[in-house]
Amino acid sequence: MEKKSVSAFFEEFLVRESLFIDRSVLLSSFIPENILHRDKEVNQILNILAPALKHEKPSNLFVYGNTGTGKTLTIKHITDNMAKIATERKIPLKIIYANCKLKRMADTEYRLLAQLASFFGRSIPATGLPTDEVYKIFYDSVEKESSTILLVLDEIDQLIKKTGDNILYNLTRINEDIKKSQIAILGISNNTTFMENVDSRVKSSLSEEDVFFSPYNALEMKDILKERASRAFKENIIETGVIEKCAAYAAREHGDARKAIELLRVAAEIAERARHKTISLAHIDEAEDKLEKEKIFDVVKTQPKQFQAVLLSIISIKSSNPYAYSGEIYDFYKRLCFKIGLRPLTQRRVSDIIREFELMGILNTKTISKGRYGRTRDISLSVSSSAIPLTKKILEDELSLS
C-alpha cells in the first residue's frame, strides 16, 4: 500500500464518527454497578454471609450455574461491600478471592496453598516443601489473623479437575484445627454437575447452603443488554430488533450474558469498520459467524493430537464425499496416524472421541439405514462451511502435515 493511502486512512479515521461513547463498557473487564434479575439470589446470599459481620462463621456456600449467568459478578459485588463495611467498622473479617482457573493459582494443591498463604503475607517457596509443611504454614497464617475468613474459590470445578478433592476435604476440616480464626468457604462452579463426582463428605460440608444461578431467558437478557448498550453507544444507532436478536442468540447459548455482550460489541465493531452509521441485524449475523469461527478455531487448537487426527480424517473425507461413515473414518485415521507417527487408538476409542466432539458442538452424527447392509452412522461437521478450510489448515499445521 502507498504511504499516501495509509495516512489518508488515518486522516479519515480521525474524523470518522464513532458509534461508541464508551467501548470499555462492553469488555469483560467492565463491572456494572447494577445487577439485573438476580434479586432473589442476592438476597439468599446476603442472608447466608451476613453472620460473618458479627464474628459468626457463615455456612459454607456453593454457588453454581452455567457460564455467564452472573455468579462472579454477584459474589464480587456482595463481598466487596462486606469488606468495605468490615473495614469501616473494624470488624475482623478477611475476604480472599481466588480464581482456580488461573494456572499460577491452582495448578496443584501445593500451589493453591502457597497462593492462599501469600494473601496472609506469608511466602512459601514455589516448590520443595513437603505438603504437610505447606498446610502447617497456611493453618498458622490463618490462625494469626484472628479473624473470620471468607475464602472464595471461583471456578472450583477446575481446581478439583486439576488436583482432586483432597484439598477441599482438608480446607473444609480446617476449623477443627484452629482456634482464633474461622474459615467459611464459598465455592463457585460453572459446571452444574461437578458436585456429583465429589467425595460425599466434601460435598456435604461444602454445600451446607447452595444457590443456583439459572440461565437468563431472552427477556432478562434483553434488559441486561439494553442497560449496557445505553452506556456504550451514542443514541439511535441500534436498529430495531438488534438487541432482541442478541438476546435470543445468547438465550440459545445457555443463557450466557457474556456471549450476548460480546456479540453486540463485535457487531458494533463490524458496523464501524464498514463505516455504517447504525448497527443492523445483518451485522449481528456477521458477528455471530465470526464468533462461531473463533470458537471452533480455539477448540481445535487446544485438542490432544489424537482428537485432531480424528477431526482431520472426518474433514478430509467430507471434502470429497457426501457421507462420512465410521468405518471409513477409522481407515483414514489409521493411515493418517501412520503418516504422522502417531499410535492409532482402537475404533471404539475413536467413536468415543467422535462423541466428545459431538458434545462440544463440533460434529453431528446421524444414524443411517443401509437397508439389508444394516445401519451406520453418518458424521458431519456442525461448523459453518466457510470455517472449514481454515480449520483444516490449523489441523494440518498442528499435526505437522503442511
Ligand X SMILES: Nc1ncnc2c1ncn2[C@@H]1O[C@H](COP(=O)(O)OP(=O)(O)O)[C@@H](O)[C@H]1O
Q: Considering only residues 190, 280, 308, 316, which one is a binding residue for ligand X as defined by CB under 6 A?
A: 190
Q: Is 72 in the site for Mg ion (CB under 5 A)?
A: yes
Name the minimum Å distance from CB 191 to ligand X: 11
Q: Is 99 in the site for ligand X (CB under 6 A)?
A: no
Q: Is 79 in the site for ligand X (CB under 6 A)?
A: no
Nearest in space to 260 (alpha carbons), one of 99, 63, 36:
36
Q: Considering only residues 44, 67, 214, 306, which one is a binding residue for ligand X as defined by CB under 6 A?
A: 67
Closer to ligand X by CB, 101 or 136: give it: 101
Which residues inside 32-61 make contact with ligand X, applying CB under 6 A?
32, 35-38
Q: Is 182 in the site for Mg ion (CB under 5 A)?
A: no
Span near Mg ion by CB under 5 A; candidates 70-78, 172-180, 215-223, 224-232: 70-78
Which residues inside 105-164 make contact with ligand X, applying CB under 6 A?
none
Do β-strands 363-369 and 375-381 pair in parallel, antiparallel, or remain unpaired?
Answer: antiparallel
Q: Considering only residues 60, 72, 79, 163, which one is a binding residue for ligand X as defined by CB under 6 A?
A: 72
Span near Mg ion by CB under 5 A; candidates 67-75, 138-146, 158-166, 303-311: 67-75
* CA 238/CA 230 separation, integer angstroms: 10
Q: Look at the alpha carbons of 267, 270, 273, 275 in this order and tell me if their dihedral is positive or negative.
A: negative
Q: Is 191 in the site for ligand X (CB under 6 A)?
A: no
Q: Considering only residues 86, 198, 257, 287, which one is a binding residue for ligand X as defined by CB under 6 A?
A: 257
**Single-letter residue type at 109:** E
Q: Is 258 in the site for ligand X (CB under 6 A)?
A: yes
Closer to ligand X by CB, 163 or 191: give it: 191
* The three cell numbers locating residue 192: 452444574
Query: Site for Mg ion (CB under 5 A): how many residues?
Result: 1
For residue 306, the tally of other CB atoms under 10 A from its CB is 17
Closer to Mg ion by CB, 160 or 362: give it: 160
Q: Is 215 in the site for ligand X (CB under 6 A)?
A: no
Name the minimum Å distance from CB 75 to Mg ion: 8
Name the minimum Å distance from CB 187 to ligand X: 13
Q: Is 28 in the site for ligand X (CB under 6 A)?
A: yes
Name the binder of 36 from Mg ion, ligand X, none, CB < 5-8 A by kind. Answer: ligand X
Q: Is 342 in the site for ligand X (CB under 6 A)?
A: no
x/- mask, ligand X, residues 216-235, rule CB under 6 A, reads --------x-----------
Closer to ligand X by CB, 6 or 46: give it: 46
Q: Look at the alpha carbons of 390, 394, 397, 401 in this order and tell me if their dihedral is positive or negative.
A: negative
**Single-letter residue type at 283:** H
Name the binder of 361 from Mg ion, ligand X, none, CB < 5-8 A by kind. Answer: none
Closer to Mg ion by CB, 72 or 313: give it: 72
Q: What is the 3-state secondary structure (H, E, C) of the chain?
A: CCHHHHHHHHHHHHHCCCCECCHHHHCCCCCCCCCCCCHHHHHHHHHHHHHHHHCCCCCCEEEEECCCCCHHHHHHHHHHHHHHHHHHCCCCEEEEEEECCCHHHHCCHHHHHHHHHHHCCCCCCCCCCCHHHHHHHHHHHHHHHCCEEEEEEECHHHHHHHHCCHHHHHHHHHHHCCCCCEEEEEEEECCCCHHHHCCHHHHHHHCCEEEEECCCCHHHHHHHHHHHHHHHECCCCECCCHHHHHHHHHHHCCCCHHHHHHHHHHHHHHHHHCCCCCECHHHHHHHHHHHHHHHHHHHHHCCCHHHHHHHHHHHHHHHHCCCCEHHHHHHHHHHHHHHHCCCCCCHHHHHHHHHHHHHCCCEEEEEEECHHHCEEEEEEECCCHHHHHHHHHHHHHHCCCC
Name the binder of 283 from ligand X, Mg ion, none, CB < 5-8 A by kind. Answer: none
Name the minimum Å distance from CB 376 to ligand X: 40
Span near ligand X by CB under 6 A; candidates 47-55, 71-79, 118-126, 298-306: 71-79
Per CB under 5 A, residues contacting Mg ion are 72
Per CB under 6 A, residues contacting ligand X are 28, 32, 35-38, 65, 67-73, 190, 224, 257-258, 261
